[in-house]
Amino acid sequence: MKNWVVRESGFQKNYVRKYESIMCQGNGYMGVRAATEEKYERSVRYTLVAGTFDQMESENTTELPNAADTTAVFLKADGIPLELTQENVKDYERSLNLYNGLLQRRFVWEPQKGLRLGFYSERFVSLKERHVLGQRVTIKVLEGNAALELQSGILGGKRYGDPHFTAMQGYAQDGIMQYAEITHESEITFVTSAVAKAWIKNGDGKETVIEMAIQPEKEQVMSSCQVTLEEGQELCLEKLCRVATTRDKDIELENENISKYGRDVLLRYEKEEMQKLWERGYEKTWEGSKEAWKKLWEEKDVKISGDADYDQLAVRFAIYHLTVMAPVHDNRMNIGAKGLSGKGYFGHTFWDTEIYMLPYFVWEDPKSARSLLEYRFLSLDSARKKAQESGYEGAMYPWEAAWITDGDTCPKPHFTQYELHVTADVAYGVYYYYEITHDVDFMRKCGCEIIFETAQFWKSRLEYRPEKDIYEICNVIGPDEFTHEADNNAYTNYLTHLNLKLAIEWKERLEKEFPEDYARLNQKLDLESRVSDWVDRRDKLVLPKANEDNILPQDDTYLTLPEIDLSIYRRGEKKLRVDYPYPTYTRLKVSKQADVMNLFLLLEELFTDEVKRASLAYYEPYCVHESSLSLCAYSMLAADCGEKAKAYELFVGARDIDLSLKKDSDHGIHAASLGGIWQCCVLGFAGVRMCGGKLRIIPNLPDNWDQVTFRLWWRGSWLEVTVTKDDVDVKVLQGPKHVEIITK
Ligand code: BGC
């Protein structure tokens, strides 16, 4: 399996968290960190279920609770609990196979002299059946005789993170273990179910089933067994589990009593489902998931040839994680900044979705992209409320979002008050999706209302300067979170301009082509009287222009800010904010992350190559790339500017954020950066863009890549694109054959 497997070779206690994150499994519904079967102090053991937000009284925001754990297995050999140290373990390897989603672990454990045990485990979270996961463990006696004790089941009780649950209780009936718990504030019932079986396998292959005793308690429900094995014998454990909550749309549809009667009905329903699952068995269930992964890769793989093994692995790693983190089965949910791989940023959604991850979904899986945007549509009332409470009109999206009715969940009021570009980013996401899909139905039902309401927010937020007859946007934080109180941040102003322009254009289009939708929205939003304000703002909004050196100013003052030596911070040896604490760093010429570069990428047709090149050369040395959103954006822009070596060097930096041990991923993978890695490969190096409503493919492959092939959706056609250093080949696999492409 070349370039499909992420490996940990040798047990590395200091990196348990990193590997838990990067080998996280999931299916968009749930994310299960790759915690080892045995427990370690540093471990951050999480099972997160998308959209199940809950707020503790002691906290100032809502977060995803840590559901009961099904993956822990407690093993004792001759009374010694399994705990690996550098001395007692050999031949350790853990791997995540991206091709089929299987996590495997194998090692030799020597608990005491004269006793050696071979340990093997595997786990999957089904990509086919979102509630299902499975696990197998085998312990083989390699040397000596062993009295083994094995325990496995569902662990509630004390777990990592805030205690979000009440009414916790374990149950056991007909060999099925179940555990129910309810979140404090959001009152979501979780039911986790499991069945385990154990058997002994002799050297000659003969098997003897072992009776497992089940013990239901308040904190857990565990099944256990004790056996004595001789050399050559194996103890095998197989377990299938289900996780379900009263927030699940699919279960509610099947059984409407669940939302009415909660726990007991869900327990009953899940017991039946668990029974069916167990009857079907582990092997068939695993096969189903494996098939689903195979199908996904047939459609979504990006195949790179050349001297590029690690790049190949990295783009697959990105696609794998984009798949397991995205709750696209339910449009009331969106992607968190760490996906479902950890509790960093509490599971909240940022502009990361529209600008960094949505492109992957639009080009590869438009149905899912639509679901992510429908989430913003369903959050409109919350965004309206936020606008109103802040003294504005229309809809103001929060900097951080969780459940659709939660409203603003940003725990740092400062950011949510000033980092306004998220509202224009959502509108940009709608524009981007529409231009690539031409999904008019979405625009009529959801997209137009988002665009009208966000435009109206900007109408009320812009500041008029009567002496110059212009509008400005003052006192914001743009994408670069180190620069505060910025006036006329170019990124924010240009995206706002687009937002206003889209509102005007879609108002006209609806009126002409879809009069019924127009009448409905006009009645609701009074478009007739709004439009003249939008036109006025569109025509008079300040759009910063490049200076005589072709540099587009990030905002009104950035270019004149004082400079400091940034070398140690750029090398990542120290954090700038330690030496220059707030607010000092906000008044220096230093950027946390890409800002103007993002603007060039989103609206490339508005800027000349000279401006892009000069600005790239100017800004990059001032950027410490402290945010994982930075390197990928710089890399793509460098690729656009034909600076291949630079583009590749920046890409390698982005690629290594999660995939190397250099950077921290302890509290989850960097979701936006993973979207960015896919973008670097397809939109950056292969040069695919939606540019002013047109498809353009102008490649800039790195020297070590010979060819890259992938599939894309463009307005009803599936295309297969193959890009080499000097050629672009596009096959229409399905749909309308005539596709216009700009290649120069
Ligand atoms: C970045 C933001 C980003 C957030 C979540 C911050 O560190 O500066 O741009 O939205 O992380 O990923």
Which of ligand 1's atoms lies nearest the C-alpha of 399? Answer: 10
d(CA 475, CA 493): 12
| 193 has a pLDDT exceeding 70 | yes
State whether the beta carbon of 351 lies less than 6 angstroms from ligand 1: yes
pLDDT tens track for 108-138 = 999 999 999 999 999 999 999 999 999 999 9
Centre of ligand 1 from the C-alpha of residue 482, in Å:
11
Collapse the DSSP code of 568 into the 3-class scheme (helix H, G, I; strand E, B; otherwise coil) and give the result: helix
Centre of ligand 1 from the C-alpha of residue 627, in Å:
6
pLDDT tens track for 365-389 = 999 999 999 999 999 999 999 999 9
State whether the beta carbon of 423 lies less than 6 angstroms from ligand 1: no
Q: Percentage of residues in the chain with pLDDT exceeding 90? A: 93
Centre of ligand 1 from the C-alpha of residue 502, in Å:
26
Give the pLDDT score at 251.
Answer: 83
Nearest to 172 by CA among 197, 153, 159: 153
Element spanning 382, H or E: helix 380-389
State whether the beta carbon of 672 lies less than 6 angstroms from ligand 1: yes
Q: Work out the pLDDT band at 261, boundaries 50, 70, 90.
A: low
Tell me the mean pLDDT in the region 167-171. Answer: 95
Tell me the mean pLDDT in the region 345-362. Answer: 98
Centre of ligand 1 from the C-alpha of residue 46, in Å:
22
Rounded to 10 degrees, what is the CA torsion of 294, 369, 667, 418? 170
Quote the DSSP letter at residue 560.
G
State whether the beta carbon of 671 lies less than 6 angstroms from ligand 1: no
Residues annotated as part of the active site? 481
| 580 has a pLDDT exceeding 70 | yes
Mean of the per-residue pLDDT values of the chain: 96
Give all domains of the chain, ordered by start, each with its CATH number: 5-255 (2.70.98.40), 379-544 (1.50.10.10)
Closest Cα to atom 6 of ligand 1: 627
pLDDT tens track for 608-620 = 999 999 999 999 9
Q: Which two tokens stand for residue 495?
A: 């995206």
Q: Omega of the bond prior to 398 within 30 degrees of 0, cis?
A: no
d(CA 373, CA 387): 19
Collapse the DSSP code of 565 into the 3-class scheme (helix H, G, I; strand E, B; otherwise coil) and give the result: coil
Query: Residue 582: CB partners within 8 Å, gap ≥ 6?
Result: none
Give the pLDDT score at 242.
Answer: 98
pTM for the whole structure: 0.98
State whether the beta carbon of 346 lies less than 6 angstroms from ligand 1: no
Tell me the mean pLDDT in the region 576-582. Answer: 95
